[in-house]
Structure 1
C-alpha cells in the first residue's frame, strides 16, 4: 500500500506540473503548434533520463525516490518520457528492430485508436 501511495502522490504532482507548464506556455505563445505539450514532452524526456540515473545513487531510499519521481512524477507529467526512455533502452541492448517496431506501432496504432475513439463517441 505504501508503494501505491508514493506513486499516487508523485503522479499527482506530475499531472499538476503538466497542467501548469502547458498553461504557462499557452499564455505566453499563441500558435497553432502545440508548444505546451511539446515542451512537456521534451522536458519530461530530459527529466526521466536524469532521474533514472540520479535516483540510483540515493542509497537505501533509492527505490522509493525512483517510484515517486520516475514512475509517479514523470508518469503523471508525460508518458512520452517513458516511451522515449524505453526506446533508448532497446537501442542500448542492440534491439533496434524491436525499437523501430515499438515506435512505429505506437505512433500508427495510437493515431488509429484515437480516431476510432472519436468515431465511437460521435456515434453514441
Structure 2
C-alpha cells in the first residue's frame, strides 16, 4: 500500500515539475534556471508545511508518503539544480552559478522554515 502512495504522488509531482519549469522559464529571458529554482523552493515550502503538520499530529504517515516522498520527491530536483549550476559555470556564467547556489540554499531553507511556522500557527 505504501508504494502506491509514493507512486501516486510522483505521478503528480513529475509532470508538475516539467510543466512548471517550462512555464516559469518561458517567462524569463535569462540563463538563470528560474524553473528549477521555483519548483525546489515550492517543494521546500510543501515539505515544511507537511513537517509542521506531522509534528502537530495533523498529518498521517500516509500523507507523508503521498506528499513528502511521492509528490515532493518528484517535484523537487537536486540533480537538475546541480547540473544547471555546473552548466552555468562551464559556460562562463560563474556569477549566475554562484547566485543559483546561494539563493537556492537560502530560499529553500527559508521556505521550509516558513512552512513549519505556518503549520504550527494553523495546527497549534
| CA RMSD in angstroms, aligned pairs only | 1.8
Select 1:63's aligned residue among 21, 40, 61: 61
* Mapping of residues 20-31 of structure 1, within 5 Å: 20-31=19-30
| Larger Cα-atom Rg | 1
Runs of 4+ in 1 over 3 A off after TM superposition: none
Structure 1 residues 30 and 76 mapped into 2: Cα distance closer, same or farther (>3 Å)?
same
TM-score of the aligned structures, taking structure 2 as reference length: 0.57
Could you say which structure has the greater relative contact order, defined with CA pairs below 8 angstroms and 6 or more residues apart? 2
Deviation at 1:47, TM superposition (A): 1.3
* DSSP 3-state at the match of 1:31: coil
Structure 1: segments with no counterpart, 5+ residues: 81-106, 112-124
Partner of 1:76: 74
Q: How many residues get paired?
A: 79
Deviation at 1:70, TM superposition (A): 0.4
Quick one: distance in 2 between partners of 1:13 and 1:69? 10
* DSSP 3-state at the match of 2:15: helix
Aligned residues of 2:13 and 2:74 also touching (Cα < 8 A): yes
Structure 2: segments with no counterpart, 5+ residues: 87-124
* Mapping of residues 85-96 of structure 1, within 5 Å: none
Deviation at 1:32, TM superposition (A): 0.7
